[in-house]
Amino acid sequence: MSTLWSKGPVIYHVKASPQCSICVGRILDKEIAMALFGENHVYKGQTQPFPLPPLGSGYRPSNEYLFCRMKRCSCDSSIEYTTVHFECYQIFLRVCNYAKLQQDYALQKLWISTAWRLPWENAFFMPASNVYIPTSPKSLELSGQLFGIPFLHRLPQELLLPIWRESKDSLFWRCMSIIRMVTEFETNTPELQIEPLDQVISWRRNGKLECAPASAMYPITKLTIDQEGIKKVERLSCRPQYTGETHSDSTFIVEEGSSLHGIEAQLQVFCDGRLRLQTTRIQPKYPYIWNTPAPPRFSLCNAQIPDVFETWRLQVVNTQKIVGITFFFLQDKLYDLYIHDSDESSANALYEQLSPDVQRGAFWIYLPIGTTDRILVLGTRFISRSEYNVLVRMEKAGDVVVGRNCFFSEDDYHHDGLLPEDWPSSRADQCLSGDSPVTLVYGEREQGYLEIPLFGTYCESGSWTPPEPFMLEKPTPKRFNRFGYYSRTPLDQIAESTVYYVPDTGGCRGILLRYKNGGCRVVGQCRVNVDPSETIAEPSLICVRKEVYRDSHGLIQEKTCVKFTHTTLDDELDKGWARYPLEGFIEFYFFFGHVLVEITTEFSEDVVRPIER
């Protein structure tokens, strides 16, 4: 039986993406999808529908083909694929039928609109943007007819916008974006124009491609990319200076023209005016894409690169304009991170995009940044060739180690089972930035990879000297082991405490402390604006209790309960609670569902670690 619905080569190995190329929304694991395929600007066909396989797996409905989301799999590179919701594809055909467009013509247009959303084949998708709010009366009327809601287009804007905000991922609004796409189709026959990118002077979407030989007077080429693909190409007289400006709805390429030699600009003339890039044998690599129109020179960035660095998209973050960072660790590696730009933001937006297997294995480490605090130093600490801690020194919160602390004894950082060059004790801590303000630079993780490809900083001044070294915290040895995540923080001078709870059990998952000097520290996993929490102002006691409970399978489990209170104790704090004054330190250890809390004033002597640039 044929595996395709239309003419074209038999596909044996289809690279499936979790992002729909039509609506740009997420395709959930096992949600019904289909793949369009083509070659450059020519549409070839589409596959039959299939359930999207989870990350790290594939789906083979027959012996003829495989829909693949294997990690680091090259897949079949001879044919280009785009993945779409099967529902979006069906709606597209209905809208085209309503517009009386021939199906072959409409599918060719769809291929250009989906495949050419990317600046080049297999590039990163831009995330769905909220800049376009679909409230066109004509589109609303048509979508309402298709969904049996004929009155919606008559509603005033002040009612439509709240409806859209609460249901913007629904099929109805996806239909609106499809209608918008179809109405922008032109009736001209497509024609492909190819020019060397380093000879393009200017171009805007739907505009004319202006070309001239490379010139020393305008040596810089800048590309602007949005959700629809490459939006603009321009040539500049000099490299723009980094100012900290960033965008969430656009990304940018800014390179010297000489470094782009060998890359072609392919323009769809008379076909929706789209442009994308194609490498050649002369230049097999694509340039970096940034979230700023004036990216810093990559040569001025200090970074931890744990693996082969092949990422295309880099993010810069002004740490003085954010309130915190959530680090996701998976298998002890820095898997991903989420930037909190407001007190209302939640890392759940990123967490929900992860596969169920990754969600079950991921640990959340939150780094709060007080409104009057600032990061002074950012660095890394070597643990193994694929694992490192993030070191942070803040003006008011002090030194923080993010990640798994596995240095519990001399053997842990001077291990006889490793080569001497792989001993943690033989590697100095690396200072990525010792000059405030700190600008964070990180690479977006590519699908299938288990860690972000780059973590570092941009240093405008190269004249700073290494800071004072960080200490190597040695936890209380008998209570904890080296396989989990350990953190500690002072208990004195607390202005406010927030305890985060596991929703099902009420056990403590993490604690956020705000100090009277304006600094903030956490222990455990603080899933801010996700888990239920309790905040107490000016507490004077911390109370800890172990409890047992039965889980959903009837098995007896143990949980750790933590409360902060005032001197006047609550009536519920009866027997079983250990009460401590707010002095000394709290040690917090967790590993999956296991939590240990220790209140102490004495430690083994911390070790001073060397630090270098």
Q: What is the DSSP letter of 417?
A: T
Q: Hey, how many other C-beta atoms are within 10 angstroms of the C-beta on 328?
A: 23
pLDDT, position 292: 95
- The string of pLDDT tens digits covering residues 414-460 is 555 566 666 666 678 888 887 778 899 999 887 666 788 889 998 87
Closest CA to 146 of 109, 110, 84, 93: 93
Strand partners, 194: 266
pLDDT, position 322: 95
**If you search the block for the tokens 């409104």, which residue do you land on?**
371
Say yes or no to pLDDT of 409 above 70: no
Say yes or no to pLDDT of 131 above 50: no
**61 vs 545: CA distance, rounded Å:** 52
- The string of pLDDT tens digits covering residues 295-354 is 998 888 888 776 556 667 899 999 999 999 999 998 888 999 999 999 999 999 889 888
Mean local confidence (pLDDT), 238-264:
89
- The string of pLDDT tens digits covering residues 66-98 is 888 876 666 656 688 899 999 999 999 999 998
Mean local confidence (pLDDT), 449-473:
80
- The string of pLDDT tens digits covering residues 347-393 is 998 898 887 888 889 999 999 999 999 999 999 988 777 788 899 99
**Higher per-residue pLDDT: 471 or 43:** 43
State how far the alpha carbon of 264 is from the alpha carbons of 195, 372, 403, 509, in Å.
6, 48, 43, 52
- Is 327 in contact with 390 (CB distance < 8 Å)? yes
**Higher per-residue pLDDT: 179 or 407:** 179
- Is 503 in contact with 525 (CB distance < 8 Å)? no
Contacts of 499-503 with CB under 8 Å at 24 or more apart are 499/533, 499/534, 499/562, 499/563, 499/564, 500/524, 500/525, 500/526, 500/527, 500/528, 500/531, 500/532, 500/533, 501/531, 501/532, 501/533, 501/534, 502/531, 502/559, 503/531, 503/532
Percent of the chain with pLDDT over 70: 83
